[in-house]
Amino acid sequence: MKINLIIDGNYLLYRNVFILKNNTSIKADLEDYLLDDFSKLSKLLYFNKIYFTSDSSSSWRKSIYKEYKDRDKDSSINWGVVYSIYDRYKDKIKNHITTRSLESKGIEGDDFIAHTVRETNKLGESNMIVSSDIDINQTLDVDLNKKFINFQWNYKYSDDRVYMPENYQLLLDAVCSESSNDLFAPSDTNSSDVINFIETMLTKSKVITVKKEYAIFKKLVMGDSGDNVPGVIKLKAGKLDPDGTGIGEKGADVVYKYYKEVQSGPIDFSSDEFRTNLKDVIKYHKKIKHDEYDQHIIDNIKFNTEMMVLESRYMPLDVYKNMSEYYENEKSRIITTPFVDERKSKYGKAELTIPNTMKIMSELDTSFEMDKLFEL
C-alpha cells in the first residue's frame, strides 16, 4: 500500500504571506519560504506521489452563486507581487520528479484534493493532506480491508492540528500486527516508517477525530460564513430573517443527534428522503410548528449540498470532465527536466528524522488563528 502527499498550495501561500506580511519581506523572502516548505514536506517520507493543488482564478461555484467567497483582502499587501512570486514558484516545483501540479480553470483546489483522494483510494493508496481547510475533513477516511488512511495536517500554528478519521487506531494496530508485510508501498519505505511517523505526529499535535458523515452534515446545517454560504434557516421573532439566529455548532450537534435517532443508517445526502427528514428535525429543533417554511428549508439543504459537499455528482458535468481529464493527463505526465533545489536552506537542514518532523519552520513560528487567513 502506497502513501501520497497532497499539498493545499493556497494554504502554504497565505500562511507564509501572513508570516511575512510586510511587502518588503514578501518580495525578498516569499519564494524561499515556499521552497523551504516544499523541500521539507517532500522529505518527510518516501511518498509515492506529491500532488500540489491550487485554486483557479475563477470557480464554477461562483458562476452559480455570485456571493460565494466574496471576501475583502488585506489592502496593505501587494497581491500582484504575491501571485507573481507564487506563479514562479509553481513553475519550479512542478518538475519535482514525484510532483503533479493540479490547477485548472474554474476548479478549486478542494475539488482537486477530493478527486485525488477518491482516485488514489480506489488503488488502495493512503493520503496525507497538508491543509488548514475544514472542508477537507470530508475526505478523511480509513479502510481496514484496503489498508488505506486519509488524514489531514495543518502545521506550525500556535497549535499543530492533526485531523484523523474515525477508527484510525484500528488501522494503525492492524498494520503493526502485520509488520512483517510491507503495506505502505515502495521497497525503501516499510510500514513501521509510516506508523512511527503518524504516531510521532499524534504525540506532538492536537489530535481531532473526524466522523466524515458528521463533517458533511454540519456544513449543510450551519452553512459556512467564510464562503458566504448561509445556514439552512435563520429566524428572528419566529420569522425568516437573514439577520436572524441560525444554527451554530452546538445546535448542529443536537440536530445530528436527533436525526440519527430517527434514521440510524448511513446518510445519502443526495436523496429527497434525507432532505425531508432533515427538514422535519430542523423544524422540531427550531420549534417551527407551521409548514410555511418547509420548502425554504429543503431548498437550502439542496443548495448547501451542491455548494459545499466535495463529491463529483454535485459538480456540473463539463467541469467534472475537465477536472478528471486534467488529473489523468497530469498524473501520467513525464518529467524531462527534474527540479533541483540548489539553495542553501536559511532555516535549518532539509533532511529531517521522524522524531523531528513536527519542528518544521520552528524558526519562523508565530501564533495566529486559522480564521485570520481569511483576513488576508
Looking at the fold, whether 273 and 371 belong to one and the same domain comes out as no
CATH of the domain at 370: 3.40.50.1010
Quote the pTM value.
0.88
Question: Which of these three, 259, 293, 308, is where a domain ends?
Answer: 308
Return the pLDDT at 372: 52
Return the pLDDT at 344: 58
Looking at the fold, whether 251 and 268 belong to one and the same domain comes out as yes
Which residues span the domain enclosing 303?
213-308
Looking at the fold, whether 117 and 46 belong to one and the same domain comes out as yes
Return the pLDDT at 252: 96
Looking at the fold, whether 297 and 319 belong to one and the same domain comes out as no
Question: Which of these three, 286, 308, 330, is where a domain ends?
Answer: 308
Looking at the fold, whether 146 and 257 belong to one and the same domain comes out as no
Cα R_g (the chain), whole angstroms: 22
Tens of pLDDT along the chain (376 residues)?
Answer: 689 999 999 999 999 998 898 889 999 999 999 999 999 999 999 899 999 999 998 999 999 999 998 877 888 899 999 999 999 999 999 988 899 999 999 999 999 999 999 999 999 999 999 999 999 999 999 999 998 999 999 876 556 889 999 999 999 988 877 755 554 444 445 677 888 899 998 988 899 999 999 999 999 999 998 899 999 999 999 899 989 999 999 999 999 999 999 899 999 999 999 999 999 999 999 999 999 999 999 999 999 999 999 999 999 999 999 999 999 999 998 887 777 776 654 444 333 333 333 334 433 444 444 455 544 5
Looking at the fold, whether 181 and 265 belong to one and the same domain comes out as no
Judged on CB neighbours under 10 Å (0-12, 13-18, 19+), 367 is exposed
Could you tell me the CA-to-CA distances from 288 to 130, 235, 246, 280 in Å, in that order?
42, 10, 13, 9
Looking at the fold, whether 120 and 269 belong to one and the same domain comes out as no
Question: Which of these three, 284, 308, 332, is where a domain ends?
Answer: 308
Return the pLDDT at 1: 67
Looking at the fold, whether 205 and 354 belong to one and the same domain comes out as yes
Please give the grid coordinates belonging to residue 112: 482537486
Total domain count for the chain?
2
Looking at the fold, whether 241 and 353 belong to one and the same domain comes out as no
Looking at the fold, whether 33 and 96 belong to one and the same domain comes out as yes
